Amino acid sequence: MNPFEALIRAVPDFPKPGVTFRDVTPLLADAGGFARCIDALAEPWQGSQVQAVCGIESRGFIFGAALAQKLHAGFVPLRKPGKLPPPLVEVDYQLEYGSDRLQARSDALKPGERTLIVDDVLATGGTLAAARQLVGMLGAELVGASVLIELKALQGRVRWGGDVVPLHSLLQY
């Protein structure tokens, strides 16, 4: 069994019927499990000279900020609407259970800055694709993406576009 699996709670029919919600809060509450999770998320990127980690609001902030520290990189929040002051760049996207918009400060990344995107869950891949678009609009160099959980049936990896830009997940369902 994957060492992190026991720390993820499956909640049926949340937030709407037919969705099995993968709750990461038991993992976050487990000091050792959380630390090992950040080590495992960082491992593929050691030596990749990551300069900036973009974390996606809100659960992506938790993993992204810890991972940025581990990789000695800066942290850049990609936020939902109404949270960041202008000037901004923004992208609209679809979710497994709705639609949303992601925004970043228009000078959040430097041109060519080696950037990693981090989130907790890859579902349909809409969020990660929007984050990737934002990184491109900011002129940074995308090194890859890391997620804790990949929901394979929703084929987010297909949307990410194969292996040209690496995408790592720790746990697959």
Ligand X SMILES: Nc1ncnc2[nH]cnc12
Ligand Y SMILES: O=P(O)(O)OC[C@H]1O[C@H](OP(=O)(O)OP(=O)(O)O)[C@H](O)[C@@H]1O
Sites of contact with ligand X (CB under 6 A): 19-22, 96, 121, 123, 151
In the structure encoding, which two tokens stand for residue 132, read together? 């990737």
Site size toward ligand Y (CB under 6 A) is 19
- Please state the closest distance from residue 94 (CB atom) to ligand Y, in A: 7
- Min CB(159)–ligand X separation in Å: 13
| The pairing of beta strand 74-78 with beta strand 98-105 | unpaired
Picked from ligand X, ligand Y, none, the partner binding residue 19 (CB below 5 to 8 A depending on kind) is ligand X
Nearer to ligand Y, 52 or 54 (CB): 54
Structure tokens at 149: 């959980």
Q: Which residue is nearest to ligand X (CB)?
A: 123
**123 sits near ligand Y (criterion: CB under 6 A):** yes
With 0-12 CB in 10 A as exposed, 13-18 as middle and 19+ as buried, what is 98?
exposed
Q: Does 59 bind ligand Y (CB under 6 A)?
A: yes
Q: Does 62 bind ligand Y (CB under 6 A)?
A: no
Q: Is 96 in the site for ligand Y (CB under 6 A)?
A: yes
Please, how many CA atoms are within 13 Å of residue 32, restricted to the half-sphere of its CB? 2
* Binding of ligand Y by 125 (CB under 6 A): yes
Looking at the annotation, which residues are catalytic?
59, 96
What string of H, E and C letters represents the secondary structure of 111-146? CCCEEEEEEEEECCCHHHHHHHHHHHHCCCEEEEEE
Angle at 38 between CA 36 and CA 44, to 5 degrees: 105
Residue numbers at the binding site for ligand Y (CB under 6 A): 56-60, 95-96, 100, 119-128, 156
